[in-house]
């Protein structure tokens, strides 16, 4: 193969293809790659001849550039390449499709694709998502660059490395989305939620199929409840129940409240009994009551426990708790007796009992009090969480500052686009 620097797919489409002695073979219709990690290799060039269209193996391609495509065989020896069947056609399958830029955590459109020669291989290296890619496909790139130059401006390329893009499924005729499962899962759940919000129903479903249950639960928690409900309704019911179990009890209650009573009860019946019972309890509160905002995932321990034993308990219980910055101290009847901060616990001597270091002047809110009361307490006393008690002063939950922030300043997301 002769060396070349780079070429865009739009430069190749409809270019003349000749054999090694200069005879016309046909015109380029498409370029094929095999789905693989990294920068995928070009495996064939589709050439349209008068009587047929044939995919010529890249092994027979000698030259590939903006002017011409040349083969290293004679016209009479051109045969259809034996391909596995999972190839992607760059023009047909990727141009004008939506992709996810996992580096920028955004949904963008494929305006063109860049191919570069690496040693003796042609590889797909980048996606053009800019205006220049569109202009190039219209054949007006040179003219526009000249005009821009006369005005003292440039016409920059806007490229995304293919290393930040991979395929969620080879069936792009059904799923108009390109994204790497591994790279997507590595994003922050909020970024995934933002991406999902820019997609249609089918693409949203495809995204969630690639996430494990833990990541799916974290991502759902970053969305508005209407979108959460839409996604869960489209899932297999057993998986939906598993994800609800992982979500915090208050988030699970919120999303179930958006579903029909029949659907909500069906999912609750599939959940583990303990998790389902907590969620059912939260669903009984009115929307404007503090109890509707609380979570039941907190750490409450008896007052006779030592600081050393408490730290051991924290290690055991922390994964299930919403926050561990406060340890709530309760008596045998679950009445709230005091609160110990994590700082106070750490600096206490190992043998010190919680009853000796806990604060008994407790700032708490009733479960049926207005949500505004909880918001006011967290603001006034600069708390990370406020305990919630029932009419008998038993601890029933906590309201965290992040839940208050969401209640006061709902996140503005593009996650309510239904299609």
Give long-range contacts, CB 8 A cutoff, 24+ apart: 400-408.
400/295, 400/322, 400/323, 403/250, 403/293, 403/294, 403/295, 404/293, 404/374, 404/375, 404/378, 407/293, 407/371, 407/375, 408/375
Instruction: Please write the tens of the pLDDT for every residue from 171-216.
Output: 444 333 444 455 677 788 888 888 887 777 777 887 888 888 999 9
Which of 219-223, 348-352, 409-413 shows the lowest mean pLDDT across its residues? Answer: 409-413
The residue to which tokens 């996810």 are assigned: 100
Has residue 271 got a pLDDT over 60? yes
Instruction: Please write the tens of the pLDDT for every residue from 24-75.
Output: 999 999 999 987 777 889 999 999 998 899 999 999 999 888 888 999 999 9
Which of 16-25, 131-140, 230-239 shows the lowest mean pLDDT across its residues? Answer: 131-140
At 410, the pLDDT band (50, 70, 90 cuts) reads low
Name the percent of the chain lying above pLDDT 70.
Answer: 89
Other C-beta atoms within 10 Å of 286: how many? 11
Instruction: Please write the tens of the pLDDT for every residue from 303-317.
Output: 999 999 999 999 888
Q: Cβ contacts of residue 170 below 8 Å, gap of 6+? A: 35, 86, 88
Has residue 166 got a pLDDT over 50? no
CATH architecture of the domain 6-90 equals Roll (2.30)
Could you state, in order of their start, the residue ranges of all structural domains in the chain? 6-90, 92-164, 188-284, 300-406
188-284 homologous superfamily: MgtE N-terminal domain-like (1.25.60.10)
Each residue of 53-77: b (16+ CB within 10 Å) or e? ebbbbbebbebbbeeebbbebebee
CA 116/CA 41 separation, integer angstroms: 10
Quote the pTM value. 0.63
pLDDT mean over 88-110: 80
300-406 homologous superfamily: CBS-domain (3.10.580.10)
Contact in structure between 260 and 230 (CB atoms under 8 Å): no
**What is the average pLDDT score of the chain?**
85
CA 227/CA 219 separation, integer angstroms: 11
Contact in structure between 251 and 283 (CB atoms under 8 Å): no
Has residue 21 got a pLDDT over 90? yes
pLDDT (0 to 100) of residue 409: 66
How far is the CA of 25 from the CAs of 75, 79, 152, in angstroms?
6, 11, 43
Has residue 242 got a pLDDT over 90? yes
Instruction: Please write the tens of the pLDDT for every residue from 133-144.
Output: 777 877 766 776
CA angle 53/56/58 to nearest 5° reads 150
The residue to which tokens 């290393």 are assigned: 163
Spell out the SS3 assignment of the chain.
CCCCCEEEHHHHCCCEEECCCCCEEEEEEEEEECCCCCCCEEEEEEEECCCCEEEEEHHHEEEECCCCEEECCCHHHCCCCCCCCCCEEHHHHHCCCEEEECCCCEEEECCEEEEEEECCEEEEEEEECCHHHHHHHCCCHHHHHHHHHHCCCCCCCCEEEHHHCCCCCCCCCCCCEECCHHHHHHCCHHHHHHHHHCCCHHHHHHHHHHCCHHHHHHHHCCCCHHHHHHHHHCCCHHHHHHHHHHCCHHHHHHHHHCCCHHHHHHHHHHCCHHHHHHHHHHHCCCCCEHHHCCECCCCEEECCCEHHHHHHHHHHHHHHCCCCCEEEEECCCCEEEEEEEHHHHHHCCCCCEHHHHCECCCCCEECCCEHHHHHHHHHHHCCCEEEEECCCCEEEEEEEHHHHHHHHCCCCCCCCCCC
């Amino acid at each position: 193969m002769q060396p070349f620097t780079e070429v865009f797919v739009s430069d190749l489409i409809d270019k003349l293809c000749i054999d090694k002695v200069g005879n016309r073979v046909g015109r380029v219709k498409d370029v094929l790659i095999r789905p693989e990690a990294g920068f995928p290799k070009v495996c064939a060039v589709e050439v349209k001849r008068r009587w047929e269209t044939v995919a010529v193996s890249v092994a027979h391609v000698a030259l590939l550039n903006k002017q011409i495509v040349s083969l290293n065989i004679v016209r009479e020896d051109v045969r259809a390449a034996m391909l596995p069947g999972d190839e992607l056609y760059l023009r047909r399958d990727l141009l004008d499709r939506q992709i996810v830029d996992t580096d920028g955590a955004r949904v963008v459109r494929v305006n063109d694709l860049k191919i570069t020669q690496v040693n003796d291989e042609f590889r797909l290296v980048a996606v053009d998502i800019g205006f220049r890619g569109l202009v190039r496909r219209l054949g007006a790139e040179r003219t526009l660059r000249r005009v821009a130059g006369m005005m003292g401006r440039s016409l920059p390329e806007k490229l995304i490395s293919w290393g930040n893009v991979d395929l969620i499924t080879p069936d792009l005729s059904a799923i108009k989305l390109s994204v790497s499962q591994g790279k997507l899962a590595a994003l922050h759940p909020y970024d995934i939620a933002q991406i999902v919000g820019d997609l249609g129903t089918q693409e949203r479903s495809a995204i969630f199929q690639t996430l494990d249950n833990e990541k799916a639960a974290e991502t759902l928690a970053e969305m508005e409840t209407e979108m959460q409900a839409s996604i869960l309704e489209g899932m297999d019911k057993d998986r939906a129940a598993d994800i609800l179990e992982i979500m915090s009890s208050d988030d699970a209650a919120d999303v179930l409240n958006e579903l029909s009573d029949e659907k909500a009860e069906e999912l609750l019946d599939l959940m583990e009994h303990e998790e389902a019972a907590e969620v059912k309890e939260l669903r009984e509160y009115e929307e404007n009551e503090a109890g509707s905002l609380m979570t039941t995932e907190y750490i409450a321990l008896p007052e006779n426990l030592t600081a050393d034993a408490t730290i051991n308990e924290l290690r055991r219980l922390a994964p299930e708790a919403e926050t561990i910055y406060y340890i709530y101290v309760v008596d045998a009847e679950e009445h709230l007796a005091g609160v110990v901060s994590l700082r106070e616990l750490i600096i206490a001597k190992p043998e010190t009992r919680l009853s000796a270091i806990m604060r008994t002047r407790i700032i708490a809110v009733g479960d049926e009090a207005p949500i505004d009361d909880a918001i006011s307490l967290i603001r006034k006393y600069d708390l990370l969480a406020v305990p919630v008690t029932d009419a008998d002063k038993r601890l029933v939950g906590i309201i965290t500052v992040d839940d208050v922030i969401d209640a006061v300043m709902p996140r503005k997301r593009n996650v309510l686009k239904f299609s």
